[in-house]
Homo-oligomer: A and B are copies of this chain.
Amino acid sequence: MPSAAILLADGTEEMEFTITYDTLVRAGVACNSAYVLDPTDTGTLRNYATCSRGVRIMYDAVFQAEQFGPYAYDALIIPGGAKGADTMSKNPAVQSLVRQFLKEDKIVGMICAGSLTALTSKLDRQPLTSHPSVKAQLENDFVYSEDPVVVSNKLITSRGPGTTFLFALQLVESLCGVAKKEEVRAPMVFPDS
């Protein structure tokens, strides 16, 4: 059974997190959400993340780099939401894990502002997409695309809430194959199906 670590932080876009998590679970992927702390938040540790539009989601574990390495998971997923993606992309342990996953030929998914992590992790110049609001920060260092989902070897990037189903289904295809993707897709009742 493939496995995925999905990062979660205060300010994460709850649709991007939830669509990805749920779709991967439908495909039989063992998902673990890892809460990345905002270093400027000096309050007591809560057992949930307050997402970008107020949905409060309980995390499965607190993020600790040594427990979320590529030896333990087949994919590392970084959702968007400006504030959540800021916390994740500026976290040195997250940046290091992104490089380790790709070095070990494991999948890294980034969506929306989450794609900023490609920049902060100093990934090689390659095809990538993101939310339009952060395009200006990425287009000099990457081969910027406006496709809904961009697959560059094991780096899979996407644009926003409206492309998250396509992103999640691409992750399913990459982790479980195209037959599993079709099996998962059908009962979700997309308008064109």
A21 at the interface (CB under 8 A from B): yes
A143 at the interface (CB under 8 A from B): no
A40 at the interface (CB under 8 A from B): no
Number of copies: 2
Q: Contact: A163 with B191, CB < 8 Å? A: yes
A57 at the interface (CB under 8 A from B): yes
Cα–Cα, bound, A162→B168 (Å): 12
A–B Cβ pairs within 8 angstroms, 10 of them? A14-B18, A14-B21, A15-B15, A18-B18, A48-B48, A55-B57, A159-B189, A160-B188, A161-B165, A166-B191
A56 at the interface (CB under 8 A from B): yes
A21 to chain B: closest residue by CB: B55
Write the nearest CB–CB distance from A177 to chain B, whole angstroms. 20
Which residues of B sit under 8 angstroms from A23, Cβ to Cβ? Answer: 15
Cα–Cα, bound, A25→B54 (Å): 8
Write the nearest CB–CB distance from A13 to chain B, whole angstroms. 8
Write the nearest CB–CB distance from A156 to chain B, whole angstroms. 15
Which residues of B sit under 8 angstroms from A13, Cβ to Cβ? Answer: 22
Q: A156-193 toward B: CB 8 Å interface, digit per residue (1/0)?
A: 00011111011000000000000000000101111101
Given A131-B187, A160-B187, A161-B188, list of 9 further CB < 8 A pairs? A19-B161, A21-B53, A25-B54, A31-B54, A58-B58, A131-B189, A132-B187, A132-B189, A148-B189
